[in-house]
Amino acid sequence: MCGVFAISSLDINDAGERVVDGLKKLEYRGYDSWGVATSSEMIKEVGKISASNATFIPDTKAIGHSRWATHGGVTQENSHPHRYKKVTLVHNGIFENYLSEKNRLLEKGETFLSETDSEVIAHLIQEQLDLSHDTKSAIQNVAKAITGRFSIVVMIEGLDEIFVARRGSPLIIGRGKDEYVNTTFIASDIPAFLEYTNIVNYIDDEEMAIIKNSDVNFYNLCSGEKIEKRNIEVSWKEEVADKGKYNHFMIKEIFDQKQSLTSAVNHTDEEIAEFISALQSGNGVYMVACGTAHKASIAAEYYFSQIAGRKINVVPASEMPAFERFINKETVLFAVSQSGETADILEILDLGKKRGAKILSITNVESSSIARISDNHLPIRAGKEKAVASTKATTSQMALLLLLAYADDNRLNEGRLLLQDLASNVNDLLNPRYEEYIKSVAETLNDCSNIFIIGRNSLFPMALESAIKIMEVSYIHAQGFAAGEMKHGPIALIEKGTPCIVLGCDSETISNAMELKSRGATIIGVAHVNNVLFDQWLKIPSAGTAISIASVLPIQILSYYLATLRGLDPDMPRNLAKSVTVK
């Protein structure tokens, strides 16, 4: 994770301040501490960069970093940049074998200021420079010694150039234009520099670049050979992150679902047909995703099974290595990701690519690494999702996956009609009265320390998703179960007043809810009709096979209020980041 941003310019002399501004747009990648270095200064702080008004001595060059801690606690020392003698760098990723190198350097008598893996890279580059004075080959040699995914941005005292290298973690060059024609921007994601330019070069894996003002040269990281890169014009305008009338992005994005469900399935018949033909071309589909996207994928497992009679194997991307023997040129690897940058997924897709598997994906970011590595990609078009907790992207993923299941069974139009209906019902449902009612339910739960959620069929993954949503923003322990599973153990935890959210009102789920109620549980039902068993009822529209999408909406609102009633910031929960670019 972590956001990196750097500027090399001939004529901009407030590079430090501009790097701070750019990093504010990358804060979703990590927000526990930050730092910026220019040629003459280095500022490092614990806390969110959004609160910073840091100023710098005028300079045309700066590198910066917004951190999500991996190695070492959240301290000023551990924040980036890291400096050793002439080398100053920022790093995104994980240097897996850093400890053996650190121990070797310690034995040589070198000392370290931080607990990070990143500082060791600065020492290794300096060690190489002591041998050859050639920064390009120093970085190449250090890259050979490092295992793991990384992107690094390096300044060397006395040199005008900025040196960058990538293996796995994203790095994009923005080529300045108009008044910024003498300036180059380097970032882990485009929003950092989109106010200056939309002309980019993507640095691919095992590549490096040397940047001086507008002069940018690309090289193969291993051989050192020069590479020519095409300038790519990205079509997106800078999406202004605006909360509008809302207090937080999370609630704004929940209400964005009044429109986003429609955009999610607004692909042409041809685009869908091409994607489906790729899906059908293999012999075994593995759907890989993480967190909430993984729960949306489990819902898709039900959709494809019940609508199209197709078995999809859904595996959390981080667990997929255990099944890697099944990845071959017959396999379809289908990635589901909001950001399109999740490291656990990229790792598997890289492996799939090497073995000739077909790579399919749906993401919310069309220029993302996952979208670009894919043979077939469909955007979910949810619009920028800023809050760490995924809401509108989740339902957009599910809507598109549901549509694909219908298309897989040659019933694309039936799917479209169902989802149009759902979109219009959701549009009616999300109104201030509904929100107020759910807030009042949240008030009754404010003191609880455990919430259980049950669901059956495609509502089982929604029980899992509801638990993630509640936990990540309110810090209340929540756990989702298949409705029929409670009686096999977890029911032991139910006592008088334990809140249990019951998704659905089919007779079997109601029987399971009855078992909980008989042991004292307070039942919060999420269904299109009320039931005598429900102590509180969160109404949803009747949605047929799209019920999983409808059911998650009230839980998103409930989670939001569980967080805000406790005085928490639901947009940036503790310990999390929006984009998880480390394994």
Binding site for ligand M6R (CB under 6 A): 290-293, 337-339, 342, 388-390, 468, 472, 579-580
| Residues 6 or more apart whose Cβ sits within 8 Å of residue 35 | 42, 43, 44, 45, 64, 65, 67, 79, 80, 81, 90
Give the Cα separation of 88 and 114 in Å (integer).
Answer: 14
Closest distance of CB 341 from ligand M6R, Å: 7
Closest distance of CB 176 from ligand M6R, Å: 29
Q: In what order do the strands lie in the sheet with 3-9?
A: 42-46, 33-38, 61-67, 3-9, 183-187, 172-175, 199-202, 232-233
| Closest CA relative to residue 333, chosen from 358, 366, 368, 296 | 358
Q: Distance of CA 426 to CAs 259, 297, 396, 454, Å?
A: 9, 21, 12, 22
- 44, 358, 392, 578: which one is catalytic? 578
Q: For ligand M6R, give the closer residue by CB, 165 or 293.
A: 293
Q: For ligand M6R, give the closer residue by CB, 300 or 389.
A: 389
CA 170, 171, 177, 179 torsion-angle sign: positive
Q: For ligand M6R, give the closer residue by CB, 139 or 171.
A: 171
Helix, strand, or coil here: 313? strand
How many CB atoms lie under 10 A from the CB of residue 268? 8
The answer to whether residue 578 is catalytic is yes
Closest distance of CB 93 from ligand M6R, Å: 16
CB 514 within 8 A of CB 540: no
- 2, 290, 500, 505: which one is catalytic? 2
Closest distance of CB 500 from ligand M6R, Å: 22
Give the Cα separation of 98 and 120 in Å (integer).
Answer: 7
**Token representation of residue 331:** 């396999």
- Residue of minimal Cβ distance to ligand M6R: 291
Q: Could you please report the per-residue DSSP string of 423-458?
A: HHHHHHH-SHHHHHHHHHHHHHHTT-SEEEEEE-TT
Q: For ligand M6R, give the closer residue by CB, 142 or 293.
A: 293
Q: For ligand M6R, give the closer residue by CB, 396 or 579.
A: 579
**Token representation of residue 38:** 């220019």
Instruction: Tell me the helices (H) and strands (E) count for the chain, helix number first.
Output: 15, 25
Closest distance of CB 256 from ligand M6R, Å: 15
Closest distance of CB 564 from ligand M6R, Å: 16
Closest distance of CB 370 from ligand M6R, Å: 8
Give the Cα separation of 406 and 415 in Å (integer).
Answer: 5
CB 118 within 8 A of CB 81: no
Closest distance of CB 567 from ligand M6R, Å: 20
Which residues are bridge partners to 84 per DSSP? 87
The answer to whether residue 2 is catalytic is yes
Give the Cα separation of 2 and 65 in Å (integer).
Answer: 7
Q: Distance of CA 20 to CAs 152, 224, 226, 402, Å?
A: 18, 32, 32, 41
DSSP 11: S
Q: For ligand M6R, give the closer residue by CB, 437 or 475.
A: 475
Q: For ligand M6R, give the closer residue by CB, 139 or 451.
A: 451
Q: For ligand M6R, give the closer residue by CB, 454 or 464.
A: 464
Which residues are bridge partners to 499 per DSSP? 522
Residues annotated catalytic, as ranges: 2, 578
